[in-house]
Structure 1
Amino acid sequence: MAEAMPSGLPLTAPAAPAIAAGLLAAFVGFASSFAVIVKGLTAVGATPAQAASGLMALSIAMGLCAVILSLKTRLPVSIAWSTPGAALLATTGMAEGGFAAAIGAFLVCSALIVLAGLWRSLGRWVAAVPAALANAMLAGVLLGLCLAPVKAVIQAPAMGLAIVIAWAVTAKLRRLYAVPVAVLVAALLIATTTTFPAGSLGDLWPRAEIVMPQFPLSAMIGIALPLFIVTMASQNIPGIAILNANGYRPAPGPLFTTTGIFSLLAAPFGGHGVNLAAITAALCAGEEAGPDPKARYWAAAISGFAYILLGLGAQAATAFMTAAPPILIEAVAGLALLGAFGTALLGAMKEAEDREAAVMTFLVTASGLSFFGIGGAFWGLAAGGAVMALGRWRRGNRQPGL
């Protein structure tokens, strides 16, 4: 069992497998989902410059967080941006107050994550949210983007099919590389078929854009609360589980608190939040990162350094995407989220007694319903919770023999 090592011990030299695993984790993590991040930020009102700033802030925040936590704990603590959270933003749309209100929601969500790490009761309350409802909400959030590859094939058959086929063939050979290959194919198609206006790709050097937050109640309920639940339920808690499965036993509280602090720092620049990684965590914590479990922390640290460097290209990447046909970018984002959608849907329908409530949560969330400026994710949880409570009340009051 690889417990956290005292931070005062000298660092070991990184081995070649750890370096390779760390670089691969950063490339896969960035290439597989940066399109989702930009889509989510622009959906809640960010300009291209603000979206680029947010992408850069997230990359640097998760890179620094991974480096600090891994070297301090001597554990392979991988950090990622919240891809499901970005998908939530993409389906929520602009709140009252525009992007400034979204920034306020990011700050409140980050503060809640810090509080969850410091106050165990809040973490237990999040864990107490029925898994069926949390998964159904996530599946409803992801549905729209996961339909994008189909829409791309309908609207642009040649390019849409090329992207989907590249993804499918690569997935059969090595699933880990499927989305990055789809990204490369999409980038090649966009570059060779799209006429970019002069200067549309912007400067290569990124620029930070600070946005003063606003805190309307509708954004706090419709963005901050669902974003907090999605981040904790689909990222932080599974991230701890991945570490545990590989023999590491970190204290969850300090990890949650640290990711929340870095999220707070990134929020004014447009970052919606960083958290413990799940998929890339398996790369850095598994045997791919080297035979010695006590030296694998270097894989997570190396991935952190790589994320910082990748963040410096955020301006060019975002400008390229915003000048490209939106349906192709959405198609790549949808392919990146298919695995998460399938897992969420399976988790939502797993228990027969909760299935009706899960279906209600899924349908209301996916519908895009909005009341009082509050998006469908919150109302989906509310509707599913009401159906679940009613069902349990009826079962509790059912008399034998009737």
Structure 2
Amino acid sequence: MPAESRPAPPPVVPETSSGGAPGPAGSLLQPVTAGLVSALVAFTSSFVVVLSGLEGVGASPAQAASGLVAVSVLMGLGSIVLSLRTRLPITVAWSTPGAALLATTGAITGGWSAAVGAFLVVGALIMLTGMVPQLSRLISRIPTSIAQAMLAGVLLQLCLGPVTGLMENPLGVAPVVVVWALASRFAPRWAAPLAFLTATAVIVVSMASSGTGLSPSALVPRLELTAPTLSLGALVGIALPLYLVTMASQNVPGVAVMKGLGYEVPWRASMLVTGAGSLLGAPAGGHGINLAAISAALAAGPEAGPDRDRRWIASLTAGIAMVVLGLAATAAAQLIAVAPAGVIAAVAGLALIGTFASALRGALADASEQLPAAATFIVAASGIAAFGVSAAFWALLSGLALHGILRRRTPRP
């Protein structure tokens, strides 16, 4: 679980609440603006990672675009449902770490249809987690250091994208890296979106110079449905790691972030909504939705206004905006498909550097856990796929085994 997803809860400062009474126009403008910013940042900062992840497990460009449409619209609808039902600023997101995991998984037995079957299993497991408290407790027993180390190892390969891209296409990638670096200094929240906008400019220039264009018919949002199948390799290599990453890096820390801001997230309702959304989106290629973690603070924090009772308007606005962005996801996917070499890999890598750093820091924070964490990281970063099962599973298995061996008490003489 990345450390950025589990910050120390800040002190909750009492804020004046109007009790929902009508206020000046500014009281509505703040949450609406915060919601729009939350949706824009969430979409533009990592949708490239989602496309890469889906194509990494066998999706065609059209199927990957369909999956992006599905998760975008469903996370928007999930935010709308939870906001209206609870009157809390709960936002739903896709799992960027989960998409990164898929991007490094590689081909699996059964192909794309088996991956879709794994997505269905993940959705069912998330719903089951909301209904069975024992399952939640079992997930919480996985050492944080091992979960973070597995994530860091998975992300390493993707974070090399800017480096390899600079060697492959320096003129196309260098502007993206420079803008990202400057934005990280002066506007950190917008670093990844601005890097994507720069990449868009590079793509447009490349299209103009080569005389290529986008077909208007290809920009219409559409879903490519796939009949799911089940295979052992997909269940062990995709479903299990994706479920663990989603729970450890999104759902559990998402609740912690909201609690730090003074809100108690209804666990059962949240898992049922996100699990059901994951089930609905799987046949269309969606890898799943979950509670937002880092971006949760954008809609639930002070930026959404001083009136805590009206901040749910921010998450409601974010949900509506995400549905609109989801309808434009096919056009975004088409733009990515004609990008020059190295540009998209660089954007994806830059978007994940912060998550990688936090995951690595969290993995090695506890000195007594560093050895199993290091072993987990190394196996995950190796990219091996023994017996058709991805490296993420073997990394988790290796880390837990070494953790158990080192934790065994030595009998006294």
Q: Which range, TM-score by smaller chain?
A: over 0.9
User: SS in structure 2 opposite 1:46?
Assistant: coil
Structure 2 CA distance for aligned equivalents of residues 116 and 327 of structure 1: 39
How far does the alpha carbon of each residue in 1:124-160 deviate from its partner, in whole angstroms, 9 at most, with x for none?
Answer: 1111111011000000111111111111111112222
Which of 334, 337, 352 in structure 2 is aligned with 1:337?
352
Which of 182, 192, 195 in structure 1 is aligned with 2:205?
192
Structure 1 CA distance for aligned equivalents of residues 44 and 77 of structure 2: 19
Structure 2 CA distance for aligned equivalents of residues 251 and 242 of structure 1: 13
Q: Amino acid of the residue matched to residue 368 of structure 1?
A: G
Structure 2 CA distance for aligned equivalents of residues 325 and 260 of structure 1: 37
Per the TM alignment, residue 397 of structure 1 is displaced from its structure 2 partner at its CA by 1.0
Q: Amino acid of the residue matched to residue 187 of structure 1?
A: T
The answer to whether the 8 A contact 1:202-1:316 is kept is no
User: SS in structure 2 opposite 1:106?
Assistant: helix
The reply on whether 1:301 has 2:316 as its aligned counterpart is yes
User: SS in structure 2 opposite 1:80?
Assistant: strand
Which of 248, 251, 257 in structure 2 is aligned with 1:242?
257
Tell me the residue number matched to 1:139: 152
How far does the alpha carbon of each residue in 1:94-148 deviate from its partner, in whole angstroms, 9 at most, with x for none?
Answer: 2111110100000001110100111011111111111011000000111111111
The reply on whether 1:75 has 2:60 as its aligned counterpart is no
The 5 A counterparts of 1:356-395 are 356-393=371-408
Tell me the residue number matched to 2:325: 310
User: SS in structure 2 opposite 1:265?
Assistant: helix
The change in CA–CA distance for 1:198 and 1:191 in structure 2 (over 3 A counts) is closer
Tell me the residue number matched to 2:8: none
The change in CA–CA distance for 1:383 and 1:326 in structure 2 (over 3 A counts) is farther
Tell me the residue number matched to 2:138: 125
The answer to whether the 8 A contact 2:105-2:390 is kept is yes
User: SS in structure 1 opposite 2:295?
Assistant: helix
User: SS in structure 2 opposite 1:92?
Assistant: coil
Q: CA RMSD in A?
A: 1.8
Q: Tell which deviates more after alignment, 55-64 or 199-208.
A: 199-208
Tell me the residue number matched to 1:155: 168
Per the TM alignment, residue 202 of structure 1 is displaced from its structure 2 partner at its CA by 4.9
The reply on whether 1:230 has 2:245 as its aligned counterpart is yes
The answer to whether the 8 A contact 2:214-2:334 is kept is no
Per the TM alignment, residue 325 of structure 1 is displaced from its structure 2 partner at its CA by 2.7
Structure 1 CA distance for aligned equivalents of residues 219 and 206 of structure 2: 22
Q: Amino acid of the residue matched to residue 90 of structure 2?
A: V
Runs of 4+ in 1 over 6 A off after TM superposition: 9-14
Per the TM alignment, residue 190 of structure 1 is displaced from its structure 2 partner at its CA by 1.3
Alignment size in residue pairs? 392
The 5 A counterparts of 1:146-295 are 146-194=159-207, 195=210, 197=212, 202-295=217-310
Structure 1 CA distance for aligned equivalents of residues 22 and 266 of structure 2: 21
The reply on whether 1:320 has 2:347 as its aligned counterpart is no
Tell me the residue number matched to 1:85: 98
Tell me the residue number matched to 1:96: 109
The answer to whether the 8 A contact 2:165-2:341 is kept is no
The change in CA–CA distance for 1:36 and 1:202 in structure 2 (over 3 A counts) is farther
Structure 2 CA distance for aligned equivalents of residues 391 and 196 of structure 1: 61
Structure 2 CA distance for aligned equivalents of residues 331 and 304 of structure 1: 28
Tell me the residue number matched to 1:19: 32
Show structure 1 runs of 5+ residues with no match.
Answer: 3-8
Q: Amino acid of the residue matched to residue 290 of structure 2?
A: N
The answer to whether the 8 A contact 1:146-1:334 is kept is yes
Tell me the residue number matched to 1:5: none
Structure 1 CA distance for aligned equivalents of residues 41 and 194 of structure 2: 10
Tell me the residue number matched to 1:6: none
The change in CA–CA distance for 1:326 and 1:385 in structure 2 (over 3 A counts) is farther
Q: Amino acid of the residue matched to residue 387 of structure 1?
A: L
Per the TM alignment, residue 203 of structure 1 is displaced from its structure 2 partner at its CA by 2.4
User: SS in structure 2 opposite 1:279?
Assistant: coil
Per the TM alignment, residue 201 of structure 1 is displaced from its structure 2 partner at its CA by 7.0
How far does the alpha carbon of each residue in 1:323-355 deviate from its partner, in whole angstroms, 9 at most, with x for none?
Answer: 213521111111111111111101110111111
The answer to whether the 8 A contact 1:32-1:179 is kept is yes
User: SS in structure 2 opposite 1:275?
Assistant: strand
The answer to whether the 8 A contact 2:169-2:341 is kept is no
Q: Amino acid of the residue matched to residue 121 of structure 1?
A: Q
Structure 1 CA distance for aligned equivalents of residues 212 and 295 of structure 2: 36
The change in CA–CA distance for 1:214 and 1:306 in structure 2 (over 3 A counts) is same
The answer to whether the 8 A contact 1:201-1:319 is kept is no
Show structure 2 runs of 5+ residues with no match.
Answer: 1-11, 14-19
